[in-house]
Amino acid sequence: MMKGRNRGKKEEEERLQCQANKGAHQRMLEEKAKADLEEAATMPLARGVEDEKLEEMKKGIIHEGDPMAMYAWKKQQEELAKQQQTSPHSSAQPPRKPTYKGPPPKPNRYGIRPGYRWDGIDRGNGFEDKVLEMLHSRGRKKEEA
C-alpha cells in the first residue's frame, strides 16, 4: 500500500518537474497539439475539396523555390500582426537564400556568383580565362589605337 502511494507521489513529482522544465511557448504548443488531435478525432476519415480547414492549411504552406513565396510570406506576416500585438523585439526575417562566403571567385563572362556549397576550387579547363583575356585584350587594343 505504501509503495503505491510512493509511486504515485514520485510520478506526480516527475510530471511537475517535466512541466517546470518547459517554457510557456512549449506548453502552448503542446496544448495546441492536443487540441488538434482531439479535433482530428472528430473529423471524417476521407477529407475532400469541400474541407475548408484542409484547404486553408495547404494554401498556408510556403514551399522553397515558389516564385510567390515572398508575397505569401508577407501576407502571413500581415495576418499574424493583425491577430496579435507583437512585441518590438520579435521581428521575423523573410526566408533568405544562403550565399557563398569563401574567398572571392575568379570573374566570369556573365558575372554569375558561385553557389553557397562551392568549395573554392576551380575545376574548369581554362576556356573561361581565355575568353576573358581575349575580351580584355580587345579593349586594350581599342584604347591604344
pLDDT of residue 90: 52
pTM: 0.33
Query: Which amino acid, 31?
Result: E
**Spatial separation of the C-alpha atoms in residues 120 and 102, rounded to whole Å:** 7
If we measure between CA atoms, which residue out of 128, 54, 64 comes closest to residue 94?
64
Query: Residues 95, 73: contact at Cβ < 8 Å?
Result: yes
What would the grid cell of residue 106 be? 575568379
92 CB contacts (<8 Å, ≥6 apart)?
A: 77
If we measure between CA atoms, which residue out of 115, 113, 111, 114 comes closest to residue 135?
111
Looking at per-residue pLDDT, the higher value among 43 and 137 belongs to 137
**Spatial separation of the C-alpha atoms in residues 25 and 38, rounded to whole Å:** 20
**Spatial separation of the C-alpha atoms in residues 68 and 61, rounded to whole Å:** 12
Average pLDDT of the segment spanning 116-137: 91
What would the grid cell of residue 69 be? 513565396
pLDDT of residue 113: 92
Q: What is the per-residue pLDDT across 72-108, written as a single tens digit (0 to 9) for each?
A: 888 888 888 888 755 555 556 667 889 999 999 988 8
Query: Residues 33, 39: contact at Cβ < 8 Å?
Result: no
